[in-house]
Structure 1
Amino acid sequence: MKDIEEVKLTISSSIKSALAVIGDGAVKIALVVDEGNRLLGTLTDGDIRRAMIKGFSLEDTIENIYFKSPITVNISTSKEEVAKICFDKKIYQIPVIDHNGIVISLHIFDDLLRPKIHLNKVVLMVGGLGSRLRPLTDKTPKPMLLVGNKPILQTIVERFVSYGFVNIIMCVNYKSHIIQNYFGDGRDFGANIEYIFEDKRMGTAGALSLLGDRPQEPFFVMNGDLLTNINFEHVLEFQLSSSVAATMCVREYDFEVPYGVVNILDRYITSIDEKPVHNFFVNAGIYILNSSCMRLIPDDEFYDMPQLFEKLIKLNERVASFPLKGYWMDIGKMHDYERAQQDYEKIFGEI
């Protein structure tokens, strides 16, 4: 994805200035935005040529010549979906917008085929016991259970690598030798893999205190027992554009009360809601942290990620949520594992 600051225009921009933006840039497109950075449309040299034929001059504004109905994707659209849209619609660029229509970045088709290598590190928490999946985990750590004929953890690694995130740290504990023997230094998977060994349970954030070289760039932290087709580049772009200390990926969860709910005030019934559905956002187990967060993690103690976020909030640090719209499965129980087996080929195919 491309940095879009240099290709933004407003409706008051002149055709002459638009030509300079399009001609100087490698992406050959300009994004027309309003004062709130919401995407209004796009402009290409083809749009300008057609305007000149109609009699527009270089000093005229672009207000009446830009394309007002461009194809866009949201921040949760996977790289594979974006590439398919580009191919099917025969387009070279697709703007990325959030749920408010604010432009976040720009996909270029060639970049989708040749992902940029990111320096940002990925920390995978893979030391859990997997007690709720026994007896499957009696001899195998949960991240190494097979889903789609490969370990869960292999799919996670391959997904990150496909987006150019190749510097991976695995925090291991239970049966760590199985994980280390399988992945080695990561070269067979296109990655550079290091290991942090926990000699006791340290929670989803505590193990970060064991990192030798602490990340200088924003870095991912992800539980090693979930499958998702999230676009990791979009999460990073969101973190950077939002200027927050940390981002937590969240998943919408609906809960239907199986009974009619009776609302009472002073013993009198005011209304009855038949099997109401309540909506929540739940923690999806995927995070991005700025390096500044590391100072808040206690050394050599059990510390979970929600504790870190609560601490950041108490310190008036800005923390953000990134809603997941695609596939997400937390493989915590046996029925989750069975469902993941059914879903795998349809969602992931061959990575």
Structure 2
Amino acid sequence: MKDWRTIRLTPEATIRDAMRAIDEGATGIALVCGADDTLLGTVSDGDVRRGLLADREMADPVTTVANPRPRTAPVGADRLEMLDLMRAHGVTLLPLVDGTGRVRGVQTLSRLLERPHFDNPVFIMAGGFGTRLHPLTADTPKPMLKVGDKPMLEHLVRRFVRHGFTNLYISTHYLPEKIRDHFGDGSDFGVRITYVHEETPLGTGGALGLLPPDIAKLPLLMINGDVLTNVDFTRLLRHHEQQQFAATMCVREYEYQVPYGVVQSDNDVVTGMTEKPVHRYHVNTGIYVLDPEIVAGVVPGTRIDMPTLLERVADDGGKVGIYSSFDYWLDIGRIDDYERAQQDIGILGMT
């Protein structure tokens, strides 16, 4: 709201005052605050109705019907966290409070549901040969293989659009015309697409050096074009910015169970035994966020893979971090991965 004070009430206000504030604010709720804007409670249409049914009078203090323990969110709370909170508790407005409990604003469900917009560039790597998926890739670049009724690359593009990212760059190498013919300039998909072409493969990071110099000087999201995922790119970007990383690698947990009992020993003496132990590792998902200085530092025409690039960033003192994702993710590199994707796509609701 432009001015949340239109729905602010003092503890001395009456139920009638609350009804006026609710009506004028058109939010279905009013805030009861102390002199220093400390939140004392909220009052909704339902609170007023229940109070009147319990024989309260219109001239009674609003505190007699107010909810003294309302749901709130901290100032600067993540958009999706607020949406989750609203949906979980059936509220359409959240007071935003600081560390001392003072109201600093409000957030409404209608505003949160508006599609966000980010100027950050998105770089999708779509130049691979897909040799392990042959013969499917004999005349189709791997990212253009259909999963469900759309190419896997289109699933990615549409997901970025849903999250408010419309400034896309796509790297091509193998059968680039197949990708360009399908997406054009991106206008049919609600995005602007700029293509960069690798005359020779430059590794998983080398194509960064081909990006135009006028690219937005904002953190860049980078992803392999053969990934099927519902990773929340908004949360990923927010994490990168909040942690002040120079580069962020999106990882997920990979679990491997040894199918046998494992024996530890020292000089042929058993020191311990573990039955079928489980080992857990963080694995790279091929999704990154990179500060603009890193992108600008990749020399055009240089072959480099992303792990090497990130190691150089760390060696130069840059802060390289991780974002642990528990969202669906599938790297479609083999035939059985592709078959699994066909089964998963309907369950995920991404068709």
Q: How would you bin the TM-score normalised by the shorter chain?
A: 0.7 to 0.9
Partner of 1:282: 283
1:289-317 Cα offsets, whole Å, 9 max, x none, are 11111244233121111112111211221
Paired with 1:126 and 1:188, the residues of 2 have a C-alpha distance of 19
Shift, 1:164, TM fit: 0.8
Partner in structure 1 of residue 250 of structure 2: 249
Structure 1 CA distance, aligned partners of 2:297 and 2:344?
38
From the superposition, tell whether residues 310 and 247 of structure 1 become closer, same or farther in structure 2 (CA, over 3 Å): same
Deviation at 1:112, TM superposition (A): 4.9
Residue 53 of structure 1, aligned match among 37, 54, 63: 63
Counterparts of 1:197-276 in structure 2, within 5 Å, are: 197-212=197-212, 213-276=214-277
In the TM superposition, what is the alpha-carbon distance from 1:275 to its structure 2 partner? 1.5
Contact 2:128–2:173 (Cα < 8 Å) also in 1: yes
Q: How does 1:1-351 map to 2 (within 5 A)?
A: 45-46=42-43, 53=63, 65-67=68-70, 86=86, 89-92=89-92, 109-212=109-212, 213-350=214-351
Q: Name 1:103's counterpart in structure 2.
A: none
Q: 1:303 and 1:260 mapped to 2: Cα distance?
A: 41
Q: Any unmatched runs of 5+ in structure 2?
A: 5-9, 12-24, 32-38, 52-60, 96-105
Q: Which stretch has the larger CA shift, 199-208 or 256-265?
A: 256-265
TM-score of the aligned structures, taking structure 2 as reference length: 0.74
Aligned to 2:19: none
1:46 partner SS? strand
Deviation at 1:93, TM superposition (A): 5.5
- 1:44 and 1:315 map into 2 onto residues whose CA distance is 51
Q: Measured at CA, do residues 53 and 88 of structure 1 come closer, stay the same or move farther in structure 2, by a change above 3 Å?
A: closer
Q: Percent identity?
A: 37
SS class of match (2:128): coil
**Deviations for 1:25-58, whole angstroms, at most 9, x for unmatched residues?**
x9x999xxxxxxxxxxx986439x99972699xx
Report the Cα offset of residue 344 of structure 1.
Answer: 0.3
TM-score of the pair, normalised by structure 1: 0.74
Q: Give the direction of change, closer, same or farther, for the CA distance of 1:93–1:315 in structure 2 (3 Å limit).
A: farther
Q: What is the alpha-carbon root mean square deviation over aligned residues?
A: 3.7
Displacement of 1:281: 0.5
Structure-2 separation of matches of 1:324 and 1:181? 33
SS at structure 2 position matched to 1:343: helix
* Shift in Å, 1:85: 7.2
Greater Cα offset, 232-241 or 178-187: 232-241
Note closer, same or farther for the CA distance 1:189–1:311 as it changes in structure 2 (3 Å cut).
same
Query: Offset at 1:168?
Result: 0.5
Q: Is the 8 A contact 2:42 2:70 kept in 1?
A: no
Contact 1:148–1:344 under 8 Å retained in 2: yes
Greater Cα radius of gyration, structure 1 or 2: 2
Contact 1:29-1:43 within 8 A present in 2 as well: no
> Which shows bigger deviation, 145-154 or 235-244?
235-244
Query: What letter is aligned with 1:92?
Result: T
Cα distance in 2 between the residues matched to 1:141 and 1:254: 31
Q: Report SS of the residue matched to 1:177.
A: helix
SS in 1 for 2:287: strand
For 1:95-124, what per-residue CA distance to the aligned partner results, in whole angstroms no more than 9, with x for missing partners? 9xxxxxxxxxx9853345321221111000
- Paired residues in the alignment total 297
CA distance in 2, matches of 1:138, 1:195: 22
**TM-fit CA distance, 1:166:** 0.6
The 2-side partners of 1:328 and 1:317 are apart by 27
What are the Cα deviations for residues 121-144 of structure 1, in whole angstroms up to 9, with x where unaligned? 100000001111111111110000
Deviations 1:207-228 (A, max 9, x none): 0101112430111000000011
In structure 1, distance between residues paired with 2:268 and 2:329: 43
| 1:140 maps to amino acid | T
